[in-house]
């Protein structure tokens, strides 16, 4: 009996998979290398069903004789162990981001005269299309809520992008690079949600209004969302906030250790802002954690010591106290261009705590790449205001041009063609 190897994610089993497995079965005994959740993450294709759930389905298919884990996007380890006579795959990987793994498979198979068999993939069974369909159908509240923790478990670092309305969120939902990279989730920023509503970032936009924005975003997207909870408000009110956010499917709230009238952190000491005591802030974290109704919701504590120039020892002392009080993550903020204080904090925090997720918001220290953050142990990077800041300069310019020219012709080149605007919205055509 010949040995046949097929690697699968099998999040949504479809006719394409069956076609591949059927061909493999005709060739011999089929061993499926099922990508582990981490291997899927390497392919930027984190499944909705975890490994065990996917395994339960695949191992019961009649074409499959055995399922083993493939713990990397590369086939190398499993192929060297099994030395199969055949590897079977859809021919779509000749052209897409999996090309490099295909080349590796071909070279490995040469070592024992194995053969790669490729099955033509018809357009209508392309994975991508199925996933777009799923996005159109939507996602359940629980699935969206729990997805942030799941992503934190399977990916080394998450990229979160600011959204302030449904259209900006659609852009975040669908933007993808050639190697299948995309944003992992969304940030509901207090700064940009307030600004989009024409109000200052001082907790003047109330929770109901913030929730309206989020509901509109959730209607058209599937990615998880982190909520900028400002100071969290009064300790007595905070438990209600947590429950409300959970109920609509928000994955996490970040609260900052300031008190009184909050002003935006990027104003620093220019604004009159005060930091809460460690004791009070820990009590707020605890009140939130006690109120939570799901296991997956996260309360992340944001430290403002650098913003208020209180130094690294204060920041670290607060970080450890907040984790002890139950915080599910620590966000350390800075408004300096030079990232030294941020990196020193991360290194010193990681010496004592290798588990608690660290969040950074590199608005000022914007030259640091995602891989550099990953190397030092950051888990979440939030691009906190870029969708809003990139959208409005264009609007301002066009408003001025139309007034000056007394017609819109001159402004046309700064506007997106109507057809392209329509293409931003799935289901328009
Ligand atoms: C926000 O986006 O509202 C934030 C981050 O809180 S910052 O503006 O840098 O304070
Ligand atoms: Mg904010």
Q: 180 or 130: whose pLDDT is higher? A: 180
Q: Is 193 in the pocket of ligand 1 (CB under 6 A)?
A: no
Which residues are within 8 A (CB) of 119 and not within 5 positions of it... i.e. 6 or more apart? 19, 20, 23, 88, 89, 90, 91
201 catalytic? Reply is yes
**Interatomic CA distance for residues 362 and 383, integer angstroms:** 7
Q: What is the residue with the minimal CA distance to atom 2 of ligand 1?
A: 189
201 alpha carbon to ligand 2 midpoint, in Å?
7
Q: What are the tens digits of pLDDT across the range 237-254?
A: 999 999 999 999 999 999
Ligand 1 atom closest to 187 (CA): 2
* DSSP class per residue in 34-95: EEPHHHHHHTT---SS-HHHHHHHHTTSTT-SEEEEE-SSS-HHHHHHH--SEEEEEGGGGT
Residue given tokens 């992340």 in the structure block: 300
Residue given tokens 């925090």 in the structure block: 349
**Which pLDDT score is estimated for 129?**
67
Is the pLDDT at 126 greater than 70, yes or no?
no
Average per-residue pLDDT in the chain?
94
Q: Is 264 in the pocket of ligand 1 (CB under 6 A)?
A: yes
Q: 3-17, 53-67, 259-273: which range is least confident on average?
A: 259-273
Q: Are 113 and 84 in contact (CB under 8 A)?
A: no
Q: Is 146 in the pocket of ligand 1 (CB under 6 A)?
A: no
Alpha helices in 261-385 (DSSP H): 278-291, 312-324, 340-352, 370-376
31 alpha carbon to ligand 2 midpoint, in Å?
51
CA distances 160 to 3, 54, 172, 173, 237, Å, are 43, 27, 9, 11, 27
Residue 60, CB half-sphere, CA atoms under 13 Å: how many? 7
Query: For residue 382, which ligand has an atom nearest its CA?
Result: 1
389 alpha carbon to ligand 1 midpoint, in Å?
13
Q: Is 194 in the pocket of ligand 1 (CB under 6 A)?
A: no
Ligand 1 atom closest to 363 (CA): 9
**Interatomic CA distance for residues 223 and 135, integer angstroms:** 9
Q: Which of 37, 92, 127, 201 is catalytic?
A: 201
Q: What is the mean pLDDT of residues 351-362?
A: 98
Nearest Cα neighbor of 251 from 222, 287, 280 is: 222
Q: What are the tens digits of pLDDT across the range 364-409?
A: 999 999 999 999 999 999 999 999 999 999 999 999 999 999 999 9
Domains of the chain are 3-128 (3.40.50.620), 138-384 (3.20.20.60), 390-424 (no CATH)
Query: For residue 306, which ligand has an atom nearest its CA?
Result: 1
Is the pLDDT at 128 greater than 80, yes or no?
no
Is the pLDDT at 131 greater than 80, yes or no?
no
**Interatomic CA distance for residues 67 and 79, integer angstroms:** 14
């Amino acid at each position: 009996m010949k040995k046949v190897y097929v690697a699968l994610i099998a999040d949504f089993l479809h006719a394409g998979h069956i076609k591949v497995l059927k061909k493999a079965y005709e060739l011999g005994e089929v061993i499926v290398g099922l990508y582990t959740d981490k291997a899927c993450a390497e392919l930027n294709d984190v499944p909705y069903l975890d490994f065990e759930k996917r395994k339960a389905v695949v191992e019961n298919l009649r074409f499959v004789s055995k399922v083993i884990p493939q713990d990397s996007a590369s086939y190398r380890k499993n192929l060297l162990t099994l030395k199969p006579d055949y590897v079977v795959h859809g021919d779509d990987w000749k052209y897409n981001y999996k090309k490099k793994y295909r080349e590796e498979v071909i070279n490995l198979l040469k070592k024992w005269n194995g053969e790669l068999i490729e099955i033509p993939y018809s357009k209508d069974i392309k994975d991508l299309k199925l996933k777009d369909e799923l996005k159109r159908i939507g996602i359940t509240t629980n699935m969206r809520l729990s997805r942030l923790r799941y992503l934190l478990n399977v990916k080394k670092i998450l990229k979160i992008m600011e959204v302030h309305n449904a259209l900006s969120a659609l852009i975040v939902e669908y933007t993808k690079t050639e190697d299948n990279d995309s944003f992992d989730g969304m940030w509901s920023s207090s700064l940009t949600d307030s600004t989009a509503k024409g109000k200052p970032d001082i907790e003047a936009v109330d929770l109901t209004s913030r929730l309206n924005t989020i509901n509109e975003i959730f209607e058209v997207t599937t990615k998880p969302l982190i909520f900028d909870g400002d100071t969290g408000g009064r300790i007595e009110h905070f438990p209600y906030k947590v429950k409300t956010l959970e109920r609509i499917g928000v994955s996490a709230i970040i609260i900052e250790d300031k008190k009184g009238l909050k002003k935006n952190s990027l104003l620093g000491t220019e604004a009159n802002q005060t930091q809460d005591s460690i004791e009070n802030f820990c009590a707020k974290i605890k009140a939130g954690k006690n109120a939570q109704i799901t296991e997956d919701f996260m309360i992340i504590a944001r430290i403002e010591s650098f913003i208020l120039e209180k130094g690294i020892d204060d920041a670290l002392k607060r970080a450890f106290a907040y984790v002890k009080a139950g915080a599910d993550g620590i966000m350390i903020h800075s408004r300096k261009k030079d990232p030294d204080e941020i990196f020193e904090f991360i290194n010193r925090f990681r010496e004592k705590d290798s588990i608690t997720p660290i969040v950074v918001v590199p608005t000022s220290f914007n030259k640091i790449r995602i891989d550099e953050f990953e190397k030092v142990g950051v888990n979440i990077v939030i691009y906190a205001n870029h969708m809003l800041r990139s959208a409005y300069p264009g609007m301002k310019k066009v408003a001025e041009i139309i007034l000056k020219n007394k017609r819109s012709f001159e402004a046309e080149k700064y506007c997106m063609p109507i057809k392209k605007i329509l293409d931003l919205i799935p289901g328009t055509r």
